[in-house]
């Protein structure tokens, strides 16, 4: 059965869309597509030591977190909220508690059609507090990603790169777990966004949110430059069709929690009479967004065709917070792009559940919802172009593009993918 992982850690990055983690909930098993990734299942029998037998599942969660770092070393990541744990056994031993289990983890493997048949996880043997502190003290120098900084036991797992040539792990510190890799039956190919639903009212409504790279950033922050750059890209793409550009809200860099959010609205009428409305926002982060932002955001979501968040994933915290906000209208189809670090690992069922609640014909919550995510980190410098890739794809209704074609326009380093598109109906000519 699927179960949620308990993930509570703190982490910060500047150039990548990453930072702090919150606990993901259980999610439905949507189908997936990517121009780069292959979708596979990793299955292994695990074992570990921890200090006490009182919470064996929490100990398993802690060990599985380290798969994020090791898989990132192969441009890949697992869907943490959909890991299936079974056959759990535990017994008190002199060192604390010995636990065994079986796990099946859905993984977005960062090479199309090139996933291995077997994979060896090198995970910490002892996940107790003392055990994890020992791992940090012994292996921070040679076994982490080049960008690692401010490393402690709460974030070591994210940067963990045991396959680096300089990383020499003592056998008493790790367990070698052989995973069998099989193709996922959830993978799709050649699916389109629901163009007919996006344009059924002859209006494309876009909500684009940009977060700061650094807390308290100014207009010079790369996140703020992304916000301003995106607005210019939209104006350039729409050209003479632009009817108005309205700058609303407060100043970029205002760090007051109740500050009015910088907000730009671009409205256009295309040559064939269809309308485009783009609402771009600049926030410090999702978790620090003021109430004024949420008030405006939730007036826009009922008619939003395309929603994108660009910024720190917060190791899941920002992704989860945004997924739990918004008002959704019956029959309104939306594409939601969570454009941060490793967002495929952190998305859960919240958005699908919310859509299912307002659509009686959609018990899975995916008929009117597609979620785009990343299997790898998203760089702030690439965020405006990534946002434009889907925007331009939706504007291409005279020459419809598949998701593979649209996502191929996004920086390959992100390993962009889409989930929930398996029930899309659109075909060219509709």
Q: What is the pLDDT of residue 221?
A: 94
Q: What is the pLDDT of residue 81?
A: 86
- CA 383 – CA 221 distance, rounded (Å): 13
Q: What is the pLDDT of residue 19?
A: 42
Last residue of a domain, one of 183, 214, 232: 183
Last residue of a domain, one of 183, 218, 251: 183
Q: What is the pLDDT of residue 162?
A: 97
- CA 213 – CA 227 distance, rounded (Å): 11
CA distances from 76 to 72, 80, 104, 212, 377 (A): 5, 12, 16, 25, 10
Q: What is the pLDDT of residue 35?
A: 60
Q: What is the pLDDT of residue 249?
A: 87
Tell me: do 79 and 177 sit in the same domain.
yes
Q: Is 253 left (phi over 0), alpha (psi -120 to 50) or beta?
A: left
Q: What is the pLDDT of residue 184?
A: 85
Q: What is the pLDDT of residue 215?
A: 81
Tell me: do 166 and 223 sit in the same domain.
no
Q: Which residues of the chain have pLDDT under 70?
A: 1-36, 257
3-state helix, strand, coil in the chain (%, to 5): 30, 30, 45
Q: What is the pLDDT of residue 365?
A: 96
Q: What domain count does the chain have?
A: 2
Domain, as residue range, for 398: 195-423
Tell me: do 86 and 217 sit in the same domain.
no
Percent of all residues in the chain with a pLDDT value above 90, rounded to a whole number: 76
CA distances from 49 to 18, 90, 93, 129, 367 (A): 29, 9, 9, 11, 43
Tell me: do 165 and 209 sit in the same domain.
no
Nearest in space to 402 (alpha carbons), one of 194, 241, 164 = 194
CB atoms within 10 A of CB 246: 10
Nearest in space to 89 (alpha carbons), one of 128, 57, 120 = 57
Q: Give SS3 for 311.
A: coil
- CA 328 – CA 11 distance, rounded (Å): 32
Tell me, what CATH number does 378's domain have? 3.40.50
3, part of any domain: no
pLDDT tens, residue by residue, 327-350:
999 999 999 999 999 999 888 999
Tell me: do 306 and 407 sit in the same domain.
yes
Tell me: do 178 and 199 sit in the same domain.
no
Q: What is the pLDDT of residue 254?
A: 78
Cβ 395 vs Cβ 404: under 8 Å: no
Q: What is the pLDDT of residue 267?
A: 98
Tell me: do 259 and 373 sit in the same domain.
yes
Tell me: do 174 and 227 sit in the same domain.
no
27, part of any domain: no
pTM for the structure as a whole: 0.83
Q: What is the pLDDT of residue 260?
A: 82
Tell me: do 143 and 200 sit in the same domain.
no
Q: What is the pLDDT of residue 17?
A: 52
pLDDT tens, residue by residue, 367-396:
999 999 999 989 999 999 999 999 999 999
- Write the CB contacts of 194 (distance below 8 Å, at least 6 apart in sequence): 333, 370, 424, 425, 426
């Amino acid at each position: 059965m699927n179960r949620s992982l308990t993930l509570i850690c703190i982490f910060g990055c500047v150039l990548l869309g990453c930072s702090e983690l919150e606990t993901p909930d259980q999610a439905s098993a949507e189908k997936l597509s990517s121009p780069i990734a292959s979708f596979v299942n990793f299955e292994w029998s695990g074992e570990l030591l921890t200090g006490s037998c009182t919470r064996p599942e929490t100990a398993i969660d802690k060990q599985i977190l380290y798969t994020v770092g090791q898989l990132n070393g192969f441009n890949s990541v697992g869907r943490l909220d959909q890991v299936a744990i079974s056959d759990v056994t535990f017994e008190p031993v002199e060192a604390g508690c010995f636990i065994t289990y079986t796990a099946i983890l859905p993984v977005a493997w960062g090479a199309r059609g090139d996933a291995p048949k077997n994979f060896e996880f090198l995970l910490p043997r002892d996940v107790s507090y003392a055990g994890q502190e020992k791992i940090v003290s012994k292996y921070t120098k040679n076994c982490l990603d080049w960008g690692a900084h401010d490393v402690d036991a709460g974030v070591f797992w994210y940067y963990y790169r045991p396959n680096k040539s300089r990383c020499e792990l003592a056998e008493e510190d790790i367990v070698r777990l052989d995973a069998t890799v099989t193709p996922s039956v959830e993978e799709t190919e050649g699916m389109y966004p629901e163009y007919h639903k996006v344009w059924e009212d002859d209006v494309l409504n876009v909500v684009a949110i940009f977060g700061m790279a650094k807390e308290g950033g100014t207009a010079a922050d790369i996140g703020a430059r992304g916000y301003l750059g995106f607005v210019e890209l939209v104006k350039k793409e729409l050209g003479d069709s632009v009817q108005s550009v309205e700058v609303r809200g407060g100043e970029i860099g205002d760090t007051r929690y109740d500050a009015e959010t910088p907000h730009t609205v671009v409205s256009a009428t295309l040559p064939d009479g269809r309308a485009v409305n783009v609402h771009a926002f600049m926030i410090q982060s999702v978790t620090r967004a003021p109430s004024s932002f949420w008030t405006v955001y939730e007036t826009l979501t009922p008619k939003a065709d395309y929603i994108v968040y660009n910024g720190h994933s917060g190791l899941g915290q920002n992704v989860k917070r945004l997924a739990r906000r918004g008002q959704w209208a019956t029959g309104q189809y939306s594409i939601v792009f969570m454009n941060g670090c490793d967002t495929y690992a952190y998305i859960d069922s919240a958005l699908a559940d919310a859509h299912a609640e307002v659509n009686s014909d959609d018990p899975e919550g995916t008929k009117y919802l597609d979620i785009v995510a990343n299997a790898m980190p998203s760089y702030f410098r690439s965020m405006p172009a990534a946002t434009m890739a889907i925007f331009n794809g939706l504007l291409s209704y005279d020459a419809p593009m598949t998701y593979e074609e649209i996502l191929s326009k996004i920086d390959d380093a992100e390993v962009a993918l889409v989930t929930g598109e398996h029930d899309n109906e659109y075909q060219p000519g509709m």
